[in-house]
Amino acid sequence: MTTHQAPFTALASVYDAIMGEIEYDGWAEFTLTFLRSEGFTPRNVLDLACGTGNSTRPFVEAGLQVTGLDLSRDMLTVAQKKLPDVTFVQGSLTDFQVPGQFDLITCMFDSINNLLTHEDMLACMERVRGHLTDDGWFVADVNTRIGLRDLWEGGVIEGVVPAEDGQDVHYHWSHHYDEERELGMIQAFFRMEDGSEFIEQHTERGYDPRELGELLEKAGFRDITICEYPDYAAPDEDTPRVWLFARVKEATRG
C-alpha cells in the first residue's frame, strides 16, 4: 500500500542515499571563495533548510562554528546523528528565531524556492537580515523560472540506491510545471525492498534575478551580487539557477 506523506518526512530515511552525488563541498568552497575575494572571513554560519546536514558538514570541516535550521524534525534527526557536535534548530524560513547573530547565513540546494510567494520570500530575507552581523553575508542558490520549468529533461528522474538500513530503494520523481500559477510540482515516489511505498508532493516557485534583487533591496540589503555557479558569471535570460550574495553594508570596492 502506498502512503502519502508530508514533504521532507519519510524522505529523510532515504535522502542521503539518493543525494550522494550532490556538490555540497563545491558549493561551500564557491561561497567561501567569494567571501575571501571580498576580504571577509566568516567565523560562524547559520545554515537554513539544512536538511540532513549535507550542506552543513563542509562548513564544519572548514573550521567554522555552524548552526543548522530546518522545518523537518525527521531531517534534523538524521543530521544530528551525523554531526553530533552541531547545534540544530527546528524552524521555518519565514519566522525562525535563533539566539545571536551570524557572519554568514546560507540556504542551499534551491531550498528557498519552497517559498511560494513574494511575501514569504521577503519575510525570509528580513528574518535573515535581522540575524546577520553588521558585515555579515546572506548566500543562497535559487532556481529561476526557466530553471524550474525545465527542471529535468523528460520530466522524470529515477533509479535504485542502497539505503542506510541495507534495503534497496527505488525512487521515481516526476516533475510538472504549472504555467498559469508558475509553480513546479514534484511527485516523489519511493518503493522499499520490503514492499513498502510512499509518496511526497513538493512544490516550488522560480525567482528571476531582477525580482530577487528587488526583494533583497526591499529587505534592506545593499551590496548584492547575483551570479552563476561555478564561475561567478553574470546570469542571462536562460540561466536555470543563480546564486545570490548579499549584505546590508554598502560595497566599498574601489
Give the model confidence (pLDDT) of 17-37 as tens digits: 999 889 999 999 999 999 999
Q: Report yes or no on 129 lying in a domain.
A: yes
Residue 171: closest CA among 194, 191, 197 = 191
Q: Is 28 a domain residue?
A: yes
Grid cell digits, residue 17: 542515499
Cell of 190: 519511493
> Can you read off the three cell numbers belonging to residue 151?
527542471
Domain membership of residue 2 (yes or no) is no
> In total, how many domains does the chain have?
1
Averaged confidence pLDDT in the chain: 95
94: in domain: yes
Instruction: State residue 153's pLDDT score.
Output: 77
Residue 98 within a domain: yes
pLDDT at 70: 98
132 domain residue, yes or no: yes
- Look up the domain containing 81 and give its range: 20-143+208-247
Average pLDDT over residues 122-142: 98
For residue 248, the model assigns a pLDDT of: 95
11 inside domain: no
Q: How confident is the model at residue 213 (pLDDT cuts 50, 70, 90)?
A: very high
pLDDT of residue 253: 54
Is residue 137 within 8 A of residue 245, CB to CB? The reply is yes
Region for 65 from its dihedrals, namely left if φ exceeds 0, alpha if ψ lies in -120 to 50, beta otherwise: beta
Q: Is residue 251 very low, low, confident or very high in pLDDT (cuts 50, 70, 90)?
A: confident
DSSP track, the chain: -EEEE-TTSGGGGTHHHHTTT--HHHHHHHHHHHHHHTT---SEEEEET-TTTTTTHHHHHTT-EEEEEES-HHHHHHHHHH-TTSEEEE--TTT---SS-EEEEEE-TTGGGG--SHHHHHHHHHHHHHHEEEEEEEEEEEE-HHHHHT-SGGGEEEEEEE-TTS-EEEEEEEEEEETTTTEEEEEEEEEETTS-EEEEEEEEE---HHHHHHHHHHTT--EEEEE-TTT-PPP-TT-SEEEEEEESSPP---
Q: Does residue 234 lie in a domain region? A: yes
pLDDT reading at 52 higher than 90 = yes
The CATH number of residue 79's host domain is 3.40.50.150
Q: What is the mean pLDDT of residues 239-246?
A: 98
- Residue 252 pLDDT class (50, 70, 90 cuts): low
Q: pLDDT tens digits for 57-69?
A: 999 999 999 999 9
Q: pLDDT exceeding 70 applies to what percent of the chain?
A: 98
The pLDDT assigned to 250 comes to 81
pLDDT of residue 174: 97
Please check the confidence at residue 254 and state whether its pLDDT lies above 60.
Answer: no
